[in-house]
Amino acid sequence: MQNRLFIDGEFVDSEAHARIPVLNPHDNSVITEVAEAQKADIDRAVDAARKAFGGWSRLAAADRGRMLLRLADAIEARAEELAELETLDTGHPLRDTKGLDVVRTAFTFRYFGGMADKVQGSVVPVEQGFLNYVLREPLGVVGQIVPWNFPLMFTGWKMGPALAAGNTVVLKPAELTPLSSLRVAELAREVGFPKGVMNVVPGYGNVAGQYLAEHPGVDKIAFTGSTATGRKIVQASAGNLKRVQLELGGKGANIVFDDANLLAAVNGSAFAIFHNQGQACIAGSRLILHEKIADAFLDKFLGLARSIRVGNPMDPATEMGPLTSAQHRDRVLSYVKVAREEGGEILLGGKAPERRELAKGCYVEPTVVRASPRSRVSQEEVFGPFVTVTTFRDDEEVIAVANGTEYGLGGGLWTTNLARAHRVAAAMRTGMVWINCYKRVNPGSPFGGVGRSGYGREMGFEAMHDYTEAKSVWVNVDAQIPPYYPR
């Protein structure tokens, strides 16, 4: 288990010898202590990335792609180890880290490994006698800040397109969950990545993250996290006008129409909110039910939520583990009090489990709250296993409710009416819409939001374009240009 900074191809201590304790959220025991990156360490990492940029960006795109493919193979070969490390560090159940997180991470590196030599320029039809072509060139050094909810997966999402496009990277994992990102760096070294191309520097957001965002040697900052922190990232980036990509909060509307397949909607809606303990920016945290089927839906949904096996995430039978930190658990539970104060009805949960073996951990029961669309719990991102329920009568009303927050990341709807499905999806003000499913992601499909959910896109060709600059080149082939100042 690596617990030092990865800078210029080596694992090193921070210059200040500062350390951060990393806790197991199941019982709040200390797993290890990792080196804490401070400003001097960020300087070292940026300098290493800057020196490595020339060679990496000039490397044939196919050769960069092959390096990413080797890394994907190494991740797959160590899937069991990575899954256990991710579960230990985050509390995400082992069945999910094995079945989803590691698989998605390897898939993402493999996808962008294959895309490295497929991002093409273009030729623009301009006036006769001239050739105008457009190149896609890497930006330079990219600073990347990944959150604590899916650290391994987001490491792949951030690094994959940036490295494929020819950039070098300084990645800061969340101080709560740095272990899998450091392991990926170790695997990258093992498969032969050049020194300085990939640097991983755990540290606190208000020190390392802030300095990385404002660093004059960084050409782009890509951040996933809260909207409040995203605003600070924008402000910090202004010094050298670096590019900014933000994937921020969400308050996903999950609409169930009266003609929906009820069983599919119940199962999909439970996954939408309770997967990873609701710690997902795209979680379906607002259930909006047609009044005709609301009672029948809730009867099945509450029964399913009660049956979810909450427990030690290292147990393969566990379906929901702890939240990632005690501080976040307390924040989620504070919204139960808010809901009651606003007149909401707690239909299920709203407390920590009472089982003795979970008493030391950061657990919260699946929580379902009936609340008005304008209440705080329906407007603010709780980021836990906490879903609000409200009802609607017609399409016009539900579209207004769905669009009634400042967020716009993801949302879903359940219906067997094809025309309605497309009409409502088009009307939802959100970066992603799922129809008769929820939280589907793929490296080829753009991921991102609008409004307070940020801007820019992860994944797909959109991500590759966000990590490159368009350069227009004009060539006078045989144009006879008359003098502009004839004499």
**Catalytic residue list:** 247, 281
CA distance 6 to 75: 18
CA distance 385 to 325: 14
Burial class of residue 457 in the structure, from the number of CB atoms within 10 Å of its CB (0-12 exposed, 13-18 middle, 19+ buried): buried
CA distance 333 to 278: 13
Structure tokens at 482: 């008359």
How far lies 4's CA from each of 71, 85, 182, 347, 444, in Å? 20, 16, 8, 46, 33
CA distance 161 to 105: 12
CA distance 168 to 54: 9
Structure tokens at 386: 């906490």
Return phi, psi of residue 27, to 5°: -140, 5
CA atoms within 13 A on the CB side of 7: 23
- DSSP state, residue 306: H
CA distance 159 to 162: 5
Return phi, psi of residue 364, to 5°: -140, 135
Burial class of residue 277 in the structure, from the number of CB atoms within 10 Å of its CB (0-12 exposed, 13-18 middle, 19+ buried): buried
Burial class of residue 204 in the structure, from the number of CB atoms within 10 Å of its CB (0-12 exposed, 13-18 middle, 19+ buried): middle
Rg of the chain over all Cα atoms, to the nearest angstrom: 24
In single-letter form, the type of residue at position 320 comes to M
CA distance 237 to 431: 24
